[in-house]
Chain A
Amino acid sequence: MSDTYTLYNPTVMEHFMNPRNMGDLKDADGIGEVGAAACGDIMKISVKIQNGRITDARFKTFGCGSAIASSSMATELIKGRTIEEAMNFSNQEVVDALGGLPPVKIHCSVLAEEALKAALEDYVKKNPDSAKAQIAVAA
């Protein structure tokens, strides 16, 4: 493969070709679906939450290679985090973990952050009391 050239770095290509956590969660506690007005990409993240922590996450993405890789990496990164930690999740973490994205593709990582936060908001909206209590417990 020494004479193979790739559009993205090896980490991004690897997550694009073999995405982690792709799919849906049957009994998801929160689902977030967001679209990028700039390019038209759409990302959906589902999370499972137990005792204030994200125990599982899945994604589905309609978008380019870097959008698929960003959502794959984001779901990897957030597993095990508390709701509060996840609420402070930044797209920069995805960019760093992927070893960088081309400037024009940074918005793909922002979409992943937005999809995650939409999933958490969905959870809080559905479980206002337990969410508050769980955040307190986890903290």
Chain B
Amino acid sequence: MRNVYLDHQASTPVLPEVFEAMRPYFTEAFGNPSSLHQHGLRVREALKKARQQMAALINAESEEEIFFTSDGTESANLAIKGVAYANERRGRHLVVSATEHPSIMNSVEFLEKQGFTCTRVPVDAEGLLRLPELQAAITPQSTLVAVHHVNHDIGTIEPIAEVGRICAAAGVPLYVDCEASAGWLPIDVKAMGAALVSFSPHRFYGPKGVGVLYRHRKARIVSMMHGGVQENGRRAGTENVPAIVGGGLAAEIALTAMPERIAHTAKLQARLWKGLSEHVPYIKLNGPIPGPNRITTNLNLSTEFIEGEGQLLLCDLNGIAVASGSSCVSKSLKISHVLAAIGLDHALAQGNIIMTLGQDNTEADIDYVIESFAKIAAKLRGMSPMWEEFESGVIDSVIAPRGIGKSFSDHAAGISGKPAR
């Protein structure tokens, strides 16, 4: 059986050369970078080099603006809470886009319980931030605006340069979560007008266990992790040296390989969407069409009349690794908040699958996925009462309405007593 990994948004394999670069830092160069002897000084140099490699990936002025954390979630927590608390005497209001990652949404929710307020700026049906509403949301009490570069679920590329201009005009620092874009799209913190940027090397062939936070030297932030004075006192705790070294090299490689990676994934993305739309009836692409507003690695699909977890399981049994934003996949039994924010019909959100491409995927892989997925959709539809009711005219399609029958949601609400969330 062919194995096709289509979950690069979750993680990527470590490149062999990255793994080799990390190896000595487990055994010979094991020192603590805070130590003042040869062992410590040696790894301190290695961290400096990694900082330079990270700074180069995002066009930061200096490696001194790069801080290492344990992962993307910690970077996001530090950015949101660190800035909020550093500026709380000036104001206690934050502005975030409605489709941010849970590490940001839940940090904001925590702050709200501590008395801060937050405005969640809505997005349009493709996930693009509504800029006039962003502008209107900023108040004199606002101390931070957080808008991600690319959405982790639907691949929307946000108009960050314009967001940056709005923030600059209002004098409010901008935090840009680049978890879904770093290594796959050029990032220029200066052109973005970003005061803070976060990303993780394990999304671009580096190791897990390290996150990066860029902080412009003028952005005020307080530490969330208290202890020693590692990372200039911004983040206490012994650095994960091997992961940082590997992450730095992965960033350097990503910078060089980016044009090729973008071209390769763009070609596969177009092939995959064309194939699926031709071979699977009643399938919808969520987010912008492949092009300037969508990252080349992501396809977010809703296949009507069937549920996402079943699709995921059958894909997995066929060697295809995918993700899903269906309520059945989440432990809270709620659909992805991103799909809710773009106003996607609940039935379509439930039939959601996310495929994210990488450099090792081939055209033959894509053709196998198209062929297999068409069979999977047909198998699940054969089991689905909704497909049968669609075929007999009881319910209508959301994707391509025929004007016969009631909506899936109305039908579901009718038999369950209330609408699904």
Q: Do A and B come from one complex?
A: yes
Check: B103 CB closer than 8 A to any chain A CB.
Answer: no
Chain A positions within 8 Å of B, measured between CB atoms, are: 7, 16-17, 19, 22, 24, 33-44, 60-65, 67-68, 104, 107
What is the distance, in angstroms, from A65's C-beta to the closest C-beta of chain B? 5
Contact call A65/B385, Cβ cutoff below 8 A: no
Contacts of B350 in A (CB 8 A): 39-40
Check: B331 CB closer than 8 A to any chain A CB.
Answer: yes
Contact call A62/B306, Cβ cutoff below 8 A: yes
- Taken together as a complex, chains A and B put the C-alpha atoms of A13 and B388 apart, in Å, by 24
Given A44-B385, A60-B385, are A37 and B309 also a contact pair (CB < 8 Å)? no
10 more CB-based (< 8 A) A-B contacts, given A40-B347, A40-B416, A62-B306: A33-B385, A35-B416, A40-B327, A40-B335, A40-B412, A61-B384, A64-B309, A65-B310, A67-B307, A107-B333
Among the listed B309, B317, B386, B418, which residue makes an inter-chain contact with A17, where contact means beta carbons less than 8 Å apart? B317
Among the listed B326, B384, B419, B421, which residue makes an inter-chain contact with A60, where contact means beta carbons less than 8 Å apart? B384
Contact call A62/B305, Cβ cutoff below 8 A: yes
Docked complex: B361-409 residues within 8 A CB-CB of A: 382-386, 388
Contacts of A60 in B (CB 8 A): 383-385, 388
Contact call B418/A62, Cβ cutoff below 8 A: no
Check: B420 CB closer than 8 A to any chain A CB.
Answer: yes
Among the listed B306, B346, B383, B388, which residue makes an inter-chain contact with A40, where contact means beta carbons less than 8 Å apart? B346
Question: Which partner residue on chain B sits nearest A111 by CB separation?
Answer: B416
Chain B positions within 8 Å of A, measured between CB atoms, are: 305-310, 313, 316-317, 326-329, 331, 333, 335, 346-347, 350, 382-386, 388, 412-413, 415-421
Among the listed A17, A22, A39, A107, which residue makes an inter-chain contact with B420, where contact means beta carbons less than 8 Å apart? A39
**Could you show 23 A-B contacts with beta carbons less than 8 Å apart?**
A7-B313, A16-B313, A19-B383, A22-B383, A34-B416, A35-B417, A37-B416, A37-B419, A37-B421, A38-B333, A38-B420, A39-B350, A42-B385, A42-B386, A42-B416, A60-B384, A61-B384, A62-B307, A62-B386, A64-B326, A64-B328, A65-B310, A67-B307
Contacts of B412 in A (CB 8 A): 35, 40, 42
- Taken together as a complex, chains A and B put the C-alpha atoms of A34 and B416 apart, in Å, by 6
- Taken together as a complex, chains A and B put the C-alpha atoms of A107 and B327 apart, in Å, by 13
What is the distance, in angstroms, from A102's C-beta to the closest C-beta of chain B? 9
Contact call B307/A64, Cβ cutoff below 8 A: yes
Among the listed A37, A42, A64, which residue makes an inter-chain contact with B310, where contact means beta carbons less than 8 Å apart? A64
